[in-house]
Amino acid sequence: MITDDDYLYYVDRALNGMAGIVAGLGDQLANARPPFPGANSPYALLTHCLGVVSYWAGQLVAGREVTRDRDAEFAGTGLVGPLLDEVAVVRGRLADDVRAAVPGARLRGAPPAAFLGPDRELTQGAALLHVYEELAQHHGQMEILRDAILAGRPAGERP
């Protein structure tokens, strides 16, 4: 079995990667959407990932009340600085939640079907794996978004 530190190492790699992309793009480009149907902006995707972590680890594993508007996460826009501050806050809470989790224990609630999580009953450990799954897949997606956004800009307008 992996340790809490091993788990957090890989989660941090995904979060750091996404935060680095958003920071590197800056306020304007981080909020840009590439010209693909239904594409998200890097800012919105990172906002969604923070919602995933807060809900799945904070509410379902740790038992904190979390108010989440999943649809609004994908419409999120704003300045990069405050979003990166929120990444640090969420990362700190996640570390505490992981260290307090009982991997084989039941969740402290049932996720709504609309949240598109795994379609089976989960343990706290499985919910934490779902958090990592979401962060890893969205990190890769954000790398593609960044490349598409930058490919559409003249070289002189790229960060």
Selection from 47, 14, 16 nearest residue 31 by Cα: 47
Angle at 76 between CA 40 and CA 74, to 5 degrees: 45
pLDDT tens digit at each of 159 positions of the chain: 799 999 999 999 999 999 999 999 999 999 999 988 999 999 999 999 999 999 999 999 999 999 999 999 999 999 999 999 999 999 999 999 999 999 999 999 888 777 766 777 889 999 999 999 999 999 999 999 999 999 977 666 666
pLDDT of residue 107: 94
Domain that holds residue 128: 4-153
What CATH number should be reported for the domain holding residue 129?
1.20.120.450
Give the chain's domain count: 1
Alpha-carbon distances, residue 1 vs 105, 138, 153 (angstroms): 15, 25, 45
Angle at 7 between CA 112 and CA 109, to 5 degrees: 20
pLDDT of residue 13: 97
The token pair that represents 4 in the structure block: 């809490």
**Residue 158 lies inside a defined structural domain of this protein:** no
pLDDT of residue 116: 61
Alpha helices in 31-123 (DSSP H): 42-53, 70-73, 80-100
**Residue 66 lies inside a defined structural domain of this protein:** yes
Q: Residue 156 carries which DSSP code?
A: G
